[in-house]
Amino acid sequence: MPGTIPSNLATRDIESLLHPYTNLATFRETGPLIIERGQGIHLYDTAGRGYIDGMAGLWCTALGWGNEELAETAAAQMRKLAFGHLFGGKSHDGAIELAETLKEIAPCPTSKVFFCNSGSEANDTQIKLIWYMNNALGRPRKKKIISRRKGYHGVTVAAASLTGLPVNQTDFDVPIANILHTSCPHHYRFAHEGESEEAFATRLAAELDELIQHEGPDTVAAFFVEPVMGAGGVIVPPATYFDKVLKVCAKYDVYVVCDEVICGFGRLGTAFGCEAFGFEPHAITVAKALTSAYVPMAAVTVPEVMYQATLDQARKIGSFGHGFTYSGHPVAAAVALKTLEIYQRERIVERAAKLTPQFQARLMALAAHPLVGEARGYGLVGAVELVADKASKRAFDPKAGVGPRAAAFTEAEGLLLRFLAGDVLSICPPLVITPEEIDELFDRLTRALDRTLDWAKRQRLS
């Protein structure tokens, strides 16, 4: 808030930066919260006030802040080779070793790895490669991509088209052609009255089947999924959902991409999110925790059938015409390799699995709070959905601003969470969080919810 930071710094921010995912109109009045430093799971603003970062930055800083190994690795690589590209057959040892490592640990058969700089770029790349492959295979009509309502796959033009959230599409003139959306697997919000999770999953699979038949199986190329839908509200699908929908995909030869940008590298207590739900996609997208967010990097896995198609196209066209200046950047590759080494050495995935019962117990206890319609989560990620009436699941009027107000109260309690559409507060702490810190996080969140309830009563909202 402006009162907590030097006024000139707040003014400079307001007058110079265009902030993502921010109400730009009200922001001119509230001003920024400027973070100065971080250590462990804590962040500190310019007034010296500390916060538990309950969102691991943006679902990404798995190892928390101030990791000296990662800092030293980046500095050493900058001194050795600060930049190196992969165009025209050039390479460097970091990109080679990281590609080998990702091939080894990937949860699906992988022939090659393609590097990008963000999850959005990576999912754009997935779409382009799918179209490229089907052209090479003589299937020019098989181009339609299916995503899910409330899914999140990024904000570049094609990735924003995949993303099934209104705020990412309204007035941006997306989705583009050939991008379709099917049902969201959120039982709490979208199940019919009395419909079990099993019946709900069966119905959603049938709806996907009907969509593919309606569009024409020879025109549907791929299905994009997140194991747990992050930015859409931390939506955990029914237990049998993936088994049912992926059988539909197999029936119609639909390529399955698992977006592991949030769930990958231990978040769900398994190395990759798809492993938590027991399915094997054709390819995965990774980013965020790949480097613990210390430097930008993302990657796409490429199966053998797709690689062979790119070879055929290269013979015909003369070059594989896709890539980024910073694909496989040597500093990012070095930091990613060190991050993966730390995950293995410190048994971060196993640690997350061990902490899950405590985290989920504290999360589910919030379901009893008068404001909480549903508490949901998996592994070390969760959310609480705030409602005006628990019995009917009636949501608050969005104009009431209950979600933003709750997020402000959590900030006042020294806890940073993410406010999502539908009055949802998401929780995704660094994987290095301790049992004591988990309890402190939820104690602060409980106090914030109590303050929100008192405010809502005064406003006669609840």
Domain with 178 in it: what CATH number?
3.40.640.10
Listed in sequence order, the DSSP H helices in 163-260 are: 187-190, 197-215, 241-251
Res 416: pLDDT: 98
Same domain for 234 and 292, yes or no, is yes
Is 27 within the bounds of a domain?
no
- Per-residue pLDDT averaged across 138-146, rounded? 97
The answer to whether residue 21 is domain-embedded is no
Reported as a pLDDT band with limits 50, 70 and 90, residue 7 is low
Query: Comparing C-alpha atoms, which of 432, 423, 416 is closest to residue 58?
Result: 416
CA 8 remoteness from chain centre: 34
| Separation of alpha carbons 136 and 125, rounded Å | 16
The amino acid occupying position 115 is F
At 2 the pLDDT is 41
pLDDT of residue 1 exceeding 60, the answer is no
377 and 406, same domain (yes or no) = yes
Of the residues 298, 327, 345, which one is the last residue of a structural domain?
345
Residue 366 and residue 304 share a domain: no
* pLDDT over 90 at 29, yes or no: no
Report, as an integer, the average pLDDT of 72-90: 97
Q: How far apart are CA 224 and CA 122, in angstroms?
A: 12
- pLDDT over 60 at 234, yes or no: yes
Contact 394, 385 (CB under 8 A): no
Final residue belonging to a domain, choices 345, 377, 399: 345
Residue 11: CB atoms within 10 Å: 12
For residues 162 and 90, state if they share a domain.
Answer: yes
CATH classification at residue 442? 3.90.1150.10
Q: Is the pLDDT of residue 354 over 80?
A: yes
Tokens describing residue 68: 């000296």
Can you tell me whether residue 339 is helix, strand or coil? helix
223 membership: H or E segment, kind and range: strand 220-225
CA distance 397 to 46: 34
CA 96 to CA 333: how far, in whole Å? 9
Residue 397: Cβ within 10 Å count: 11
Residues 59 and 150 both lie in one domain: no
- Give per-residue pLDDT as tens, 95-113: 999 999 999 999 999 999 9
**Same domain as 301, residue 364:** no
Q: Are 269 and 397 in a shared domain?
A: no
Token pair, residue 433, equals 């969080």
> In this structure, are 264 and 196 located in the same domain?
yes
User: 382 has which bridge partners?
Assistant: 377, 427
20 within domain boundaries: no
In this structure, are 259 and 160 located in the same domain? yes
Domain edge (last residue) among 345, 370, 387: 345
- Looking at the domain assignment, is residue 405 inside a domain? yes
State residue 241's pLDDT score: 98
Per the structure, the count of domains in the chain is: 2
SS3 content of the chain, % helix, strand, coil (to 5): 45, 15, 40
pTM score of the predicted model: 0.95
Number of H helices, E strands in the chain: 16, 15
Rounded Cα distance between 299 and 359, Å, is: 29
334 with 406, same domain?
Answer: no
| Residue at 243 is within a domain | yes
Section 68-89 average pLDDT? 98
User: Does 6 score more than 70 pLDDT?
Assistant: no
Residue 67's alpha-carbon distances to 44, 61, 63, 333, in angstroms, are 16, 10, 7, 17
399 & 275 share domain = no
Identify whether residues 311 and 372 lie together within a single domain. no
* 19 occurs within a structural domain: no
Closest by Cα among 190, 261, 236, 233 to 421: 233
Cβ-contact 40, 64 below 8 angstroms: yes
Residue 424 lies in a domain: yes
HEC string of 351-403 equals HHHHHHHHHHHHHHHHHHCCCEEEEEEECCEEEEEECCECCCCECCCHHHCHH
State the average pLDDT over residues 410-414: 98
Structural domain that includes position 371: 33-66+347-458
Summarised one tens digit per residue, pLDDT across range 248-285 is: 999 999 999 999 999 999 999 999 999 999 999 999 99
Token pair listed for 141? 């009509």
- Which residues does 133 contact at the CB level (< 8 Å), separation at least 6? 305, 306, 309, 310
Question: Does residue 309 sit within a domain?
Answer: yes
Sign of the Cα torsion 362, 364, 365, 371 reads: positive
Q: What is the pLDDT of residues 356-366, one digit of tens each?
A: 999 999 999 99
Give 208-211 contacts, CB < 8 A, sequence gap 24+: 208/146, 208/182, 208/183, 208/245, 208/248, 208/249, 209/248, 209/251, 211/146, 211/180, 211/182
